[in-house]
Copies of this chain bind each other. A is one copy, B any other.
Amino acid sequence: MQSQADGYHHDIGAALQLLLSAGGKRLRPTITLLIGQMLNAPIDRLITLASAIELLHTATLVHDDLIDGSLLRRGMPTLNSQWSPGATVLTGDFLFSCAAKLAAETESIPVIKLFTHTLTVIVNGEVTQLLSGHNCITREMYYQRIYAKTASLIETAARSAALIAPTSETTVENMRAFGYEIGMGFQIVDDILDFTGEEATLGKPVGSDLRQGLFTLPTIIFNELYPENPAIQTLIDGSRSLSDEQVVQLVNDIRHSIAIELSFKEANQFVDRGLSSLLTQPNKKERQALEELAKFIIERKT
């Protein structure tokens, strides 16, 4: 990934180094590499594909953080907190172009088509969230949003690895399903941790989604259980905003409600369905690693 900046403006290389050194879980490329190796895909094309996917993810984060005005990501200052908006936009564009270049280097038309389609889905999801306001109050809207935001790229990370292998259509479909289900579960757990995590581990205040007016699964389930809660109703009808104290109270109410357990149950169902898509595969070490990765997604604290 770092070598993508070679030969271009040195500040681009510096920005890329900064972004890559912050690390992150590298969930998407890990899934690509494990599935690809499980299916005997050629390692060089697999590495190219995994890099394309992680750089695409990084590019979307750069523009997201700029739009949201976020100052920290993965415990490091965001690019937009240090650079001008213009330089940040262009760095994101540069990362998009690198991701597209690496995707093209896989020389697989199906993979390239899938990759460009996924980018459209992700950006359309961001546009929808930005322009339609935050409050999705039904599970259906929530699932659409987290599919666009998170699961679509994890699905593509898994499916494209199978396409590269190459392998049977059934296996491609199973791997796609694994990525989709794991991706949905991953984002639900993320949204739960926003309520239950420790501020120090999260690197942001507890309940930050709700503070920004964003409804996630715990809030939606809490609303289904307690439709008369006045704070929730105020947020839904949007007629006036809540005081800081009222938001903290609501976050606490949700945090200590059964909505958390019920959200975990949903996440578990997704991840279990994902795991069942692996069952047709021979019990190789990569399959075991994917199973452990699925377990990590549910059990992680950050």
| Interfacial residues, chain A to chain B (CB-CB below 8 A) | 8-9, 11-12, 63, 66-67, 84-87, 89-94, 96-98, 100-101, 103-105, 107, 109, 112-113, 115-117, 119-120, 123-124, 126-128, 130-132
Contacts and interface: CB of A to CB of B under 8 A. Distances in A.
Given A104-B116, A112-B112, 13 more contacts: A9-B127, A9-B128, A12-B124, A66-B86, A67-B86, A90-B123, A90-B126, A91-B127, A94-B123, A98-B120, A100-B115, A101-B120, A103-B116
Contacts of A8: 120, 124, 127
Nearest to A15: B127
A58 to B, nearest CB: 14
A265 B132 CA distance: 53
Contacts of A91: 127
A87 B133 CA distance: 12
A4 B182 CA distance: 30
Nearest to A114: B104
A293 B67 CA distance: 41
Contacts of A86: 66-67, 130
A89 B80 CA distance: 13
Contacts of A103: 116
A62 to B, nearest CB: 10
A75 to B, nearest CB: 24
